Amino acid sequence: MKKDTFLIAITMVFFLGIINPIKAQVSEDSELFIALKTNDSLLFNIGFNKCVLNEFKNLTTDDLEFYHDKNGILKSKAEFINVMAYGICHKDNLYKARRELVKGSLKVYPLYENGKLYGAIQNGEHQFYETFQGNEKAGNVAKFSHLWILENNQWKIKRILSFDHQ
């Protein structure tokens, strides 16, 4: 009896795998990868590096959560933008930071519900550069994971994990 149950279970897994193939990382030339890489660039190259706070407003959900292994948790878009506006992006701040995506590190994994794309997980590594009184030097290298959600046909970042800062 146990042998028959096991064979039925293995057969079902096999057929379900054929009918609904397991989704893995998307290729770098896919529409999804390109869209999220573009958003990553807007978020960091424009929002973070140039302190254009509207990019953060446009690309994040209201219930954004940001988990950082060194600086703790930010629990909303408003809190995140406030920290940026009065921290790194404040006009009187002598310390500035710049972020570069580590080439070749970006990976995107689609998320589906009932066969419909609703989100994606974006993983990668980034290198930070620190400028103090005009002198730039290499700073931390860290890993990140972003949860992107489709909201009204727009990709919005809902969760940010920034970790393994070295």
- pLDDT on residue 134: 84
- Dump pLDDT digits (tens) for 117-148: 999 999 999 999 999 888 999 999 999 999 99
| Separation CA 162–CA 145 (nearest Å) | 7
Where are the extended beta strands (E) located within the chain?
60-68, 72-74, 95-101, 107-113, 116-132, 135-151, 154-163
| Separation CA 5–CA 36 (nearest Å) | 43
- Dump pLDDT digits (tens) for 80-119: 999 999 999 999 888 889 999 999 999 999 999 999 999 9
- pLDDT on residue 7: 46
- pLDDT on residue 23: 54
Neighbouring C-alpha atoms within 13 Å toward the C-beta of 18? 5
What average pLDDT score do residues 31-52 get? 96
| Separation CA 67–CA 75 (nearest Å) | 9
| Separation CA 25–CA 27 (nearest Å) | 7
Cβ 136 vs Cβ 144: under 8 Å: no
* Bridge partners (DSSP) listed for residue 126: 101, 142
Q: How far apart are the first and last CA of the chain?
A: 54
| Separation CA 129–CA 145 (nearest Å) | 20
User: DSSP class of residue 90?
Assistant: -
Alpha-helical (H) ranges within the chain are 2-19, 31-41, 49-50, 53-59, 77-86
